[in-house]
Each structure stands twice: as C-alpha cells, then as structure tokens.
Amino acid sequence: MSQPRRVAVIGGGIAGNAAALALARKNISCTLFDMGRSLGGRVASRQLEQQGQPLSFDHGAQQVTAIGADFQAQLAEWQAAGVVAEWRGRHGEIAGGAFRPRPEQPGSGSGGSGSGFCGSLTGLPLYVGVPNNNAIAQHMAGQLQAHPNAQLQSGVAVQAVERVGGGCGCGSGGSKWQLRGSRRGRAAAAEPEPVEQQTDLGLFDAIVLADAMPLLPGSAGHVAGIEAASTSLAQLARSVQAVAPEPCFALMVAFREPLPDVPFDSASVAGDASSSSSSGDSSGGSRAAFQWVACNSSKPGRPQLSGGAPQCWVALTTAQRAKQILERRPLSTADGRFNPQTEQYRAEVAAELLADFRALMQPFVQGDLPEPLYTHAQRWGRAFATQPLGAEMLFLPAQRLVLCGDVCTGSSVEAAWRSGRAAGNATADMLLADAAA
C-alpha cells in the first residue's frame, strides 16, 4: 500500500491558503508554512490601542474587486460567512489638488487616470474584510485548521530544501523534498541559523511556492537549495529574479478627531502632483508621493467614530517615492543580507511620509492638519508585480514544484486566489495520477 502523499506550501497569503485548501479538498495531506506570527501575507492589518483608544489599519491590500464568475462566487461565500462586506464609501480620484468622484456604474470610465489604484475607479463594487482585511486570510486558515488533511505552521521560516531519495520524482519510488528551517519566524531572516542548527521540517512529495521570495537571494523568505536541484529550477529562479516588482511604503496615521471637510473616503492619486509631495524628485519636478489614500475608519466593521474611536488613515506611496526612501534605507545590507525594519527605521520613514501626507491632504482641510495621535510605517519591498510572468502558475512536474502568486498573475486578491487554487489543483491531480498508476 502506497504512503499518503504530502505537499509543503510555502507562504501563507491568499495564494498559499487557496493552494492548501485545494489540496486538502482533494484528500492530499498538506502543511502550510509561513514565517509570520499569523497568516495573511499582503492581506495585512494592524490592530492596537493608543492611549486607551482602538486603532485599526489595513496596511497591505486595500480592497477587493471581483471580475470572474468563480471569484464572485467565492466572494459571495465570504460575505455569507460574515468576513467580507461591501465598502460603500465616497471613492474617487485626486488630481490637480481636487477630488473627482468615481463613476457609479462599471465600465463608464473614470474621466481621469484609467482604472485607478487596483481597479478602484472602474465602478465595480469595492469589498473589504470584516473586521479587517486580514479576516479573509484568517477565515481561510480556519477552514484549513478544521480540515483533517491540512496542518498550519506559522512562525516557521523554511530556510533550505534538498532533493533526497534518488529518482526523477515520478511515481511512488521517486525522490522527495527535505525541508529545514527555523521556528524563530521572521527573526531568522535577519539572523539565519547555521545549517547544522536548522530544524528538520519533514519530507514532502511536492512543494508549492506561494510567493517569489524563496527564489530571491537576500530576501526575507529566501530558501536555499531550490535552484541547485535542477537546471529547470535554476531557470525558474532566473525568470523570477528578472521580474522587477515595485516597492511601496504604507503610512498609517490616526487623529483624535475626524479631519473636517475631507470629501472622500478613498482616492487614487493621479501621477502628477500638485503639492502632493514635500520632497519632489531627483529631476526637480513635483510628483505625487502617494498613489492611494483611504480613511480606514470608513470601512465597515472598523472602530466607530461615533463611539469616540480615533480616525485612522492609510496612504500608500508611489514606487518612485518608495525608491527614494530605499536609496537611503535599502532592503539589503552591503553584504547582501536582509535589512530588517527596526522600530527606528519605521519611525524615521513615518516622519518623512507624514510631511507628504500633510501636503496631499492640506487642500481638503480647513486650517492646518492637527498633530496625529499615532503614526507608523510598513515597508513592502515587493508590493506590486506590474509585469508578472503571465501564467496562472508555473508547474514543473518532474521536479514536483509549482510556483504561484503575484509573480505569476499580478497583485490583486482575485489573481492570488485563482493562482493558488490552480497550483493546488494541479499538484493534487499529479499526485493522484501517480497513486493510480
């Protein structure tokens, strides 16, 4: 009797959760590894108290739109479960120092800069997680935890893999993937453990990479040994390394009282600035520091202003503004090691971006902006894959490895979900065919 097949899914964002669920539902045993304390990847939210007041920020993915019928059905399922709701706010675009509301009907055109930030100007309904955007990933993780074929290991960094057992990987006698790593989570990225001290994470018949970082030396999630396993995996690594995603910083700001007279709850920001950046650019021109700004408190399920909660805002920088910051505060150290975001790093970036936020918001507020109750910054070194590889997933059956996620399909929640589901289904079908042979 053949042994049950096991799959390792590396990366606990939307793509990784979707892949693991697809595997489990086809009766394939899977383990989902993520280096964070909790799952979610870029569907990230920050909840805290400041001076006894609740603050809530979605500092990763801002909203969800649904284009395909399959994802519309998934969104309806999440709505029925109470973890997603429509965000019926005042959405639009900032251009030339003025706000222009978006169209109310899909396909009617924004009258401005195209579809806007992540499709926000298309007229499609905007959805958010409830009580925060990370609730979507937590709901998927809960489904995995309840499934007998799935295991979750958060706070675990996979640091190295190796093909063992000989053979091509095909059939019941093929080689397997040996995983090693650290249970120190993200701390292991800045201070990797020596090989002899790494923890044995188990043997697996296949791997699903639900993020590009395992193939990127110097990144927080790099996994040694993948590209060395075969020439085709080395070529995959080179293809991923050739994709140049755009960086982004998220600024989180809370005010004790609502900003008066602001005419929007969210806005895409047009490329040309009109006083929207305090720093300008290296060419001497003025460009927008931010591509998106949103009142997080306007989203359904967040702490209510009527109950005395502070007003929370999130602003996402343009790639150009992020690169300016990274020139002085890079992703990697001089010796190629990952440069972690320390509290000092975040505080310095937040102070710099707060000046940009004041410049962006000043035309919409009577008088000076008040001093914030709280500021924080988050670095996303690989925020937006503007030129993805163009495949729903990349499947290497002989190596028993699949790559999915934004590097394949783009940076929307829908694209991540569809890519992960396809990767999980393809891997399951391959292993089930092996078992039947």
In the chain the domains, ranked by start, together with CATH numbers, are 6-42+136-243+388-436 (3.50.50.60), 90-125+246-384 (3.90.660)
The CB-side HSE value for 208 (13 A sphere, CA atoms) comes to 39
Kind plus residue range of the DSSP H or E element containing 401? strand 401-403
Say which range, 84-93, 141-150, 225-234, 329-338, has the weakest mean pLDDT. 329-338
Residue 153, pLDDT > 60, answer yes
pLDDT band, very low/low/confident/very high, at 286 (cuts 50, 70, 90)? very low
Instruction: Give percent above pLDDT 70 in the chain.
Output: 92
pLDDT in the model for residue 277: 53
Residue 46, pLDDT > 60, answer yes
pLDDT band, very low/low/confident/very high, at 111 (cuts 50, 70, 90)? very low
pLDDT in the model for residue 278: 53
Closest Cα to residue 394, out of 179, 244, 215? 215
Whether the CB-CB separation of 205 and 7 falls below 8 Å is answered with yes
Residue 110, pLDDT > 70, answer no
How much is the mean pLDDT over the chain?
91
pLDDT band, very low/low/confident/very high, at 5 (cuts 50, 70, 90)? very high
Torsion angle of C-alpha atoms 17, 156, 41, 429, degrees rounded to 10: -30
pLDDT in the model for residue 272: 59
pLDDT in the model for residue 167: 55
Residue 166, pLDDT > 80, answer no
pLDDT in the model for residue 172: 46
| Cis peptide leading into residue 101 (ω within 30°) | no
Place of tokens 């990274």: 326
Residue 430, pLDDT > 50, answer yes
Residue 316, pLDDT > 90, answer yes
pLDDT in the model for residue 306: 80
> Is the full-model pTM beyond 0.75?
yes
Instruction: Give percent above pLDDT 90 in the chain.
Output: 79
pLDDT band, very low/low/confident/very high, at 174 (cuts 50, 70, 90)? low
Q: What integer is the mean pLDDT of 211-217?
A: 94
247: tokens are 């960086």
> What is the residue type of 344?
Q
pLDDT digits (tens, 9 = 90+) for 387-409: 999 999 999 999 999 999 999 99
Residue 263, pLDDT > 50, answer yes
Q: What integer is the mean pLDDT of 142-149?
A: 97
pLDDT in the model for residue 244: 85
Residue 73, pLDDT > 90, answer yes
Separation CA 91–CA 337 (nearest Å): 41
pLDDT in the model for residue 112: 45
Separation CA 393–CA 185 (nearest Å): 26
Helix (H, G, I), strand (E, B) or coil at 112: coil
Residue 275, pLDDT > 70, answer no
pLDDT in the model for residue 274: 45
Residue 3 to residues 19, 56, 212, 255, Cα–Cα distance (Å): 21, 46, 30, 58
